[in-house]
Amino acid sequence: MSTTVSPLAPKSYPDMPEIQGVQFATAAAGLKYADRTDVLLATLAAGTTVAGVFTKSRCTSAPVDWCRDRLDGGNACALLVNSGNANAFTGKKGKAAVELSADIVSRALDCPTDGIFLASTGVIGEPLPAEKFAHVVDDLTFGQDGQAWLDAAKAIMTTDTYPKLATSSIDLDGETVTINGIAKGAGMIAPDMATMLSFIFTDAAISNNVLQDILSVETGSSFNAITVDSDTSTSDTVLLFATGSARGRGVEPVSSLDDPRTEVLRAALRDVMQDLAHQIVRDGEGARKFVEISVERAESDESARKIALSIANSPLVKTAVAGEDANWGRIVMAVGKAGEPADRDRLAIWFGDVRVAVEGERDPDYSEDAASAVMKEENIIIRVDLGLGDGHSTVWTCDLTKEYVAINGDYRS
């Protein structure tokens, strides 16, 4: 965790409403960091449904395996998260650590281990001393607070420079329903998903199949549409919990994808997830620029996505952004190397509102001063028109600076 806050950080934290059925407590177990909280325990009301999306890495962490195996159970009673140690690539010790972690929480809360979800973030390859949780979990069960959203977000940080929170409120059946989320992530960030964790909570009553569908779909345009350094982590976890407490206020459960209220929930969840995803990019290690890359008129949406990511993940593009260099030739390079359909003589490129290239050459009205002025801004939009079809995609990234190298060169020291 850095002591210098990213210049792209939000200027203030949102006011996070309390969600009935969710309680938080944090503690310092001393897993890696001195003098800071590194454990989060969330207790959840009986009947809370859960959905999850995880990394596509073939070298998953023990907590990811644990959570995947328990999603089919359908209900959750607690969430335990630690920072400083990923419990990844730890073999049989990692499996034993998650089992011990769940057992400690189970005994403290008197809830079944299959309803306990776990997540870890931090250094890979170091055994997790789960026995340390025993010294703090009992205290955590007596220190629960339904308003401790900021403390919860801080407890899961690693190289993050600020806690990440987002909220959205909607009307269902004439009552206010809330969706709150927290996240962590700053480096090893790439789609599918990142060294990121996110935990989202709502008081709506939502069946497991609907909950899983909306989470899986909206991950595509949020957490799976960001990249800091093109590296996919072992530990990526997004969990969505629905406590169902809104039923007590007369809000009927949402149990079908055909229910018109599903789209209302989906839109609100998208807002929260995209907000958190953007905050992760804005906290990219060493980041000074937030970059939106839009590719349009590709042969397909998937082709547009691959080209957008080719641009977003290019070190040459990202260092040009860091140097405020309007080097549109690097965009051409990244489009060409993506391996997707592209026609040089139909290609057009914009930096902000400035068209820099068109029909296979520099725009005849190109202005270096105008393009350079765009690159000096904190938020930059790069738009590519392939002129081939109806496919489109938008991804978000940041620049690549010397600070990124310094942070990751010293990560384990």
Catalytic residues: 195
Would you say 408 is a known binding-site residue?
Answer: yes
Helices (H), 313-393: 315-322, 329-337, 368-375
The C-alpha atoms of residue 196 and residue 184 are separated, in whole angstroms, by 5
Would you say 285 is a known binding-site residue?
Answer: yes
Amino acid identity of residue 353, one-letter, is D
Token match 């600076």: residue?
A: 401
The C-alpha atoms of residue 70 and residue 21 are separated, in whole angstroms, by 20
- The sheet with strand 164-172 has its strands ordered as 49-54, 237-242, 197-202, 175-184, 164-172
The C-alpha atoms of residue 323 and residue 147 are separated, in whole angstroms, by 42
3-state secondary structure of 117: strand
**Do residues 152 and 189 touch, judged by C-beta distance below 8 A?**
no
The C-alpha atoms of residue 391 and residue 405 are separated, in whole angstroms, by 35
Q: Which of 168, 180, 171 is nearest to 20 (CA)?
A: 180
CA distances from 13 to 161, 285, 370 (A): 14, 20, 34
CA distances from 176 to 182, 251, 257 (A): 20, 9, 20
List residues forming the annotated binding site: 158, 184, 195, 285, 408, 413
Q: Which residues are annotated as a binding site for substrate?
A: 158, 184, 195, 285, 408, 413
